[in-house]
Structures are given as structure tokens and as C-alpha cells.
Amino acid sequence: MADVSIKDVYKTFGKTEVIHGISCDIKDGEFVVVLGPSGCGKSTLLRMVAGLEVITKGEIAINGAVVNDLEPADRDIAMVFQNYALYPHMSEKNMAYGLKIRRMPKEEIEKRIRNAANILEITEFLDRKPRQLSGGQRQRVAMDRCIVREPKVFLFDEPLSNLDAKLRVQMRLEIRRLQEDLEVTSISVTHDQVEVMTLGDRLIIMDNGYAAQVGSPLEIYERPATRFVAGFIGSPGMNFLPVPLSADGQWVELPGATRLPLQNGGIPSHRGQEIILGIRPEHCDLAGEQAGMMHLNVDHVEILGADTLVYGHFGEDNALLAVRLPAIHHFEKNTILPLVVSTKNMHIFDKESGKRIGD
Ligand SMILES: Nc1ncnc2c1ncn2[C@@H]1O[C@H](COP(=O)(O)OP(=O)(O)OP(=O)(O)O)[C@@H](O)[C@H]1O
Ligand SMILES: [Mg+2]
């Protein structure tokens, strides 16, 4: 049982600052997912929590006690690394290792290992050495070591990246169930959009060493604070169109002269200016009987089974647009599709700062 407080934490390697002041209070039992582009500092942040990197400035506290100067072994944290560190000459011992150094009775160690191995479907590999395991099997052994210890805090750095699709889904549910059963405060890094939306109570979206937004998955999906965040959550990513805002700030004009009304009083502060309109692919639909707001010229179609992705262009400037339609559609290239946009789900961003404006 532990809460983790990250307070204005900085990290510098040599002369390069890579983390520029990140803060987040993680409640006891909470599951936080960290997401961001490669090199933005996710692993570095986790490693500072684990005690594997020195904190250049700021404070990390567990249950109110500052751990900045505490050795990793004294923090009672278990971490699954991005490049899972297995001790090359240990097999079952691999999982027992964390426990032996804690002087747990042998029977208790064996019981815990069998339990965890069952969950992870690795019982048959227990006596193999790491080099005799596949990448995914190794990842599960690393996970097992983590679970077996029942620590105060779990840290997962892309724990499922080497697993096949079926195991991934199984493990995702298993991690969530375990985390809820054990009520272990957890921080996990992932690039997987489904994991992002389903695994975490809260997300930290990182951009180049900063926390661009912290919030629940739905909050961030529905009200992304910046264009960067908006483009990072959702797949395919949000469409961005530079369009003019009307002189009274109450509507935007799409290429092709269609006017889309804004919700909740419009954006008087930016009247007459060019803004960035954000539309998620799933918030467009075929126009049917209604007049289309835009006429998409189909470039490419991807049939996913449950739904169909259509990529195309429209308007004089050939603005690009991705659309997600429910069910299966066979559209030929260069077909013209009349589309409607769900105006209550539009997002508006400032063109210069990229910040969300209006509602
Ligand atoms: N030991 C180190 N010495 C110098 N620079 C480092 C060191 N470790 C990481 N960096 C730099 O710090 C930045 C953040 O690295 P980090 O590994 O935290 O990224 P990440 O978000 O985990 O990326 P990825 O998604 O690719 O794993 C990168 O620019 C990286 O080159
Ligand atoms: Mg990393």
C-alpha cells in the first residue's frame, strides 16, 4: 500500500536536460499509464521512481517519505524493464531471486511462484534458462518476478510489447485484475492505444520531457489540452484542418464553404482568425439522406472487419481526411462520399500555441 508523489522532478544527463519538471500525485492503489513519443523521457521517469537514476532536482516520495537518496532495494518497488533484465544463468531461481534476498520461507516462495506462473502460462518453462526462452516468454518471466514479490509499487516499462495479440489481451486483463486484487500502486509505460484507454485510471501524456496533460483516459480523449495530445490519443489520429473562424466567432468554414456551428457560445477571443479544427475519424459519418457537409474523394480504404477506415481528400486545397465508418464498406478509389461531421465533438486549437481554445 503506497502513494507516490512526484514533485517538480528534473533529470539532466551530462549537460542535457531531458526531464523538465514533472509533477504527479499517484494515489494508493492507482494505476497510472505514461504515454509519449520515443525519447520523451518515459523510461527515465520510471527509473527515477525505481531509484536506478539519480534525481537531478525535485522530489519523489513514497507514503510521504522522500526516497531521493534511498537505494533501489530499499524502496520495495518491482519493475519490469523495457529490456527485461534476467539473470542469464538462473531459471526458476529467476523468480525466487527477489524473494530470497528478502529471506522468505522456501514453501512460501514456491507457492507464490507456482501461482504467478499459472496466471502467466509459463509453468512448463519454469526450469528453462532465459536464453532458452522466446522474447514473449522472457517478458512473462520478468512479469512473474514482479508479481511474486508483492511489492508496494509496480513499475512496468512496455511489459506487453513482445507478446502476440491473444496473449496481450489476456495479459492486459490479468494485469488489471491483479493490480486491483493486490491493490498495488502501478505506473506503466505503453505505446498501445487500447492499453492506454483501458489499463490506466489516469494517463500522463509526455512531450519532450514535459507532462503535456494528466487526466483520466476519457477526459483526455474528450478534451485534449493541446493539439499534440489530441494527435496522440486515438487511432487513426485526429484530423487537423486549418480553417477560418467567422467574424462573430460562432462558426468555422470548411473547405468547400460549409459552415459548422460551434457549441457553447463559440470562440469570441479568436473571431476572424485562422484556427486548427480537430475532427476524430470516428466522428464523421456518411451523409445518407442529409446534404453532405463535405465531399470526400476516396484515396484508400482499409477494411478492419468491425469497421472500415477511409482515407481521402476534399476541397480546393485537397485537405486530407481519415474517416472511421462502422461495418464493412467496399468503396472504389475516386468515389465521392458525402459526409457529415458530429459538430458537438469538434475540437478547436490555437494555430500558434497549439492550445485548446473554446469549450
Ligand atoms: N544514460 C543516458 N545518458 C544520456 N542520455 C540518456 C541516457 N538515458 C536516456 N537518455 C536520453 O534521455 C532521453 C529520454 O530517454 P528515455 O529512455 O527516457 O526515453 P523513452 O521515452 O523511454 O523512449 P522510448 O519510447 O524510445 O523507450 C532520450 O533523449 C535519451 O537519449
Ligand atoms: Mg523507454
Q: pLDDT at position 119, please?
A: 63
43 Cα to the center of ligand 2, angstroms: 4
Nearest ligand 1 atom to alpha carbon 82:
27
Q: Domain 4-225 is classified in which CATH homologous superfamily?
A: P-loop containing nucleotide triphosphate hydrolases (3.40.50.300)
Task: Using a pLDDT cut of 70, give the percent of the chain over it.
Answer: 91
Answer yes or no: is pLDDT of 87 > 50.
no
200: Cβ contacts below 8 Å, ≥ 6 apart: 31, 32, 33, 188, 217
Q: Domain 236-349 is classified in which CATH homologous superfamily?
A: Nucleic acid-binding proteins (2.40.50.140)
Please say whether the beta carbons of 236 and 282 come within 8 A. Answer: no
Q: pLDDT at position 339, please?
A: 94
Average the pLDDT over 278-282 and give the result: 97
Closest CA relative to residue 85, chosen from 38, 115, 50: 50
From the CB of 190, is ligand 1 less than 6 Å away? no
264 Cα to the center of ligand 1, angstroms: 42
Per the prediction, the chain carries an average pLDDT of 87
Q: pLDDT at position 84, please?
A: 55
171 Cα to the center of ligand 2, angstroms: 20
Helix 92-100 vs helix 106-119: angle between axes, to the nearest 10 degrees? Answer: 130
CB atoms within 10 A of CB 351: 14
Q: What is the pLDDT of residues 33-74, one digit of tens each?
A: 999 999 999 999 999 999 989 999 999 999 999 999 998 888
Q: Hey, where are the domains in the chain?
A: 4-225, 236-349
157 Cα to the center of ligand 1, angstroms: 13
Fold equal for 4-225 and 236-349: no
For atom 5 of ligand 1, which residue has the closest CA? 13
Ligand in nearest proximity to the CA of 191: 1
Separation between Cα atoms, residue 340 and residue 321, nearest integer Å: 12
Q: What is the pLDDT of residues 127-154, one digit of tens each?
A: 777 777 777 777 777 777 777 777 889 8
From the CB of 13, is ligand 1 less than 6 Å away? yes
- Residue 174's pLDDT band, with cuts at 50, 70 and 90, is confident
Which residue matches cell numbers 504515454?
35
For atom 10 of ligand 1, which residue has the closest CA? 13
* H or E stretch covering 6: strand 4-13
Nearest ligand 1 atom to alpha carbon 45:
18
- CA dihedral 48→50→53→56, nearest 10 degrees, is 30
